[in-house]
Amino acid sequence: METGDIALASVDLASLESLFDALSDVAFFVKDRDGRYLSVNTTMVRRCGLREKADIVGKTALEVHPRPLAQAYMAQDRQVIDQGVAIRKHLELHLYPTRSHGWCLTNKTPLRDANGTIIGLAGTSQDLGLPGDQNPVYGQIANIADHIRAHYADNVSMEELARRAGLSLARVERLFQKVFHYSPRQLLLQTRLSAAMAMIESGSQASIADIAYACGYTDHSAFSRQFKAHTGMSPVQYRAHCHEPGGNS
């Protein structure tokens, strides 16, 4: 058994499962570094159209989900595990056992051992109760969110994204607030700061100014202000914290 497996095995996953078993609209899961399910709740079992948790545990997404969906989930997993970047409120369609589609908000976060090494991930997927065929506008919102996450380093124009979706900016902002509980601009800020934190945590030797630029900031001072407001530390202090004994890396 590898060190990461030992660390995950020491976690009381059964207690976590019991908490999430009570939530009928939230699927919960824990995976190891190779993407194998280590723990799931009963909602996750039902969503996959299976009978028992044992039908999922030890398997990968490819073994329990349709291939197109599984490949998307696995790409997310690699982002979380390889880059240490958490995925927050990712709006996406899921395929249910009835073959119907529904909208869900997915969250995934890396799991680290005492040395800061990423050994797996934990995640949830909340059913929004929005059938895919009855809410096509949510596909447009999901596309806007995906564009923001993929192009955060660029000069992102919210007005242009709304125009391409055929929606007014005011409606896009209302829908974002309804689904994500924050605005498109707040998503952009969150994505940029998360990317900067991941770069610092990775041990990158790039200067703070270069990290700011790589994450879409043209104003170093604005980056530092927003970073401190988000983390409680300046980028320099966060770097020192991450690389001191007991830090994240």
Q: Mean pLDDT over residues 109-119, rounded?
A: 89
What whole-number distance in Å separates Cα of residue 84 and Cα of residue 194? 10
- pLDDT of the residue at 10: 54
- Whether this model's pTM surpasses 0.85: no
Is residue 182 predicted with pLDDT exceeding 90?
no
Contact 222, 233 (CB under 8 A): no
> Mean of the pLDDT values across residues 51-57?
95
| pLDDT the model gives residue 7 | 55
Q: How confident is the model at residue 9 (pLDDT cuts 50, 70, 90)?
A: low
Burial class (CB in 10 A: 0-12, 13-18, 19+), 123: buried
Confidence of residue 134 (pLDDT cuts 50, 70, 90): low
Average pLDDT of the chain, as a whole number: 86
Residues 6+ apart with CB under 8 A from 149: 187, 191
Residue 128's pLDDT is what?
80
**Cβ atoms < 10 Å from Cβ of 91:** 22
Whether residue 155 is predicted with pLDDT greater than 70 in this model: the reply is: yes
The dihedral built from the CA positions of residue 85, 88, 90 and 96, taken in this order, carries a sign that is positive
Q: Which of 8-12, 70-74, 125-129 bottoms out in mean pLDDT, i.e. has the lowest? A: 8-12
